[in-house]
Structure 1
Amino acid sequence: MHAGAQRLFILIAGVWVGSILAVGYLVAPTIFSTLTDRQVAGMVAGSIFKAEAYLSATVCIVLMVLANLLVTRGLGHYKTIRLILLGMLLCSVAAVFVFIPWMNTLRDQALLHGMPVMLSPSADLFGKLHGASSIVFTIQSALGIYLVWRLTKPV
């Protein structure tokens, strides 16, 4: 039973972390290099990052529940895994409840005034939020790589 649960855990974590890396380091840059309108590219990328953030929060919670189950069944090395997942969950929560809504509000306000956000009075704040969210995403990516690394370590 433990082996099957661990394999499922590793499969879910691997696919999830792969999706994070694909979105952040393949899909988003491709959108910006393909679309000539940066405002449209930003809106498309923002929608994809929003979906990824919600997916990440959901998968992270599921994996934390499964990790708790594995710990109670005597697999103590999942205690560290839970801490990594907690860090990743905090990154997702920051994206879902802070960065994405705030940036969307700034973008919508600019559009109401007939201008792209980067030409609006909120451009500086938007840029800072984008930078901070990029740092949080990078931290989440690094934690995800570390998670998969730890999960594939022989016990």
Structure 2
Amino acid sequence: MAVLLLWIPMRQKPGIDTVLNVLLVGPSAEIGLAVLGEPEALWARILLFTGGLLLLAAASGLYIGAQLGPGPRDGLMTGLHQSLGLPIWFVRTAIEGTVLVLGWLLGGSVGVGTVAFALLIGPLINLALPIFRIPEPQATPILPPSARPVIDSTL
């Protein structure tokens, strides 16, 4: 929730997905871990990590592209992108790198997957956004009477 406060100077607006993201990501992860368990084989761990990383990037592209409201880090990412003009991939990598370093400084563990996530999620979201972006509707211009088409009623 504290990340949402960083949105204020960038005039980011929450949407329905912002609220759902805050409320459901943690419980969904817990349910997923309970259902799938923790595989022992390295190949299975790599497969699950890769699938999860790709799914997260695609899902981010879907809900950001549909303008349903970004999650907390996504809003920070899009806000910084719009404010500073930096590429999405760079902004997201910087955010995740900052979170990784802060977590490590606070005593968290950093593994290969943590570093891979921090380095790869930004470029993957950068790829997913244009694929899933829904174009904003174009405003229909109101034509002055002299520019309106003439309809021939003699036909």
Tell me which interval the TM-score lies in, with the shorter structure as reference length. 0.3 to 0.5
| Structure holding more helix per residue | 1
TM-score (norm 2): 0.33
Query: TM-score, normalised to structure 1's length?
Result: 0.33
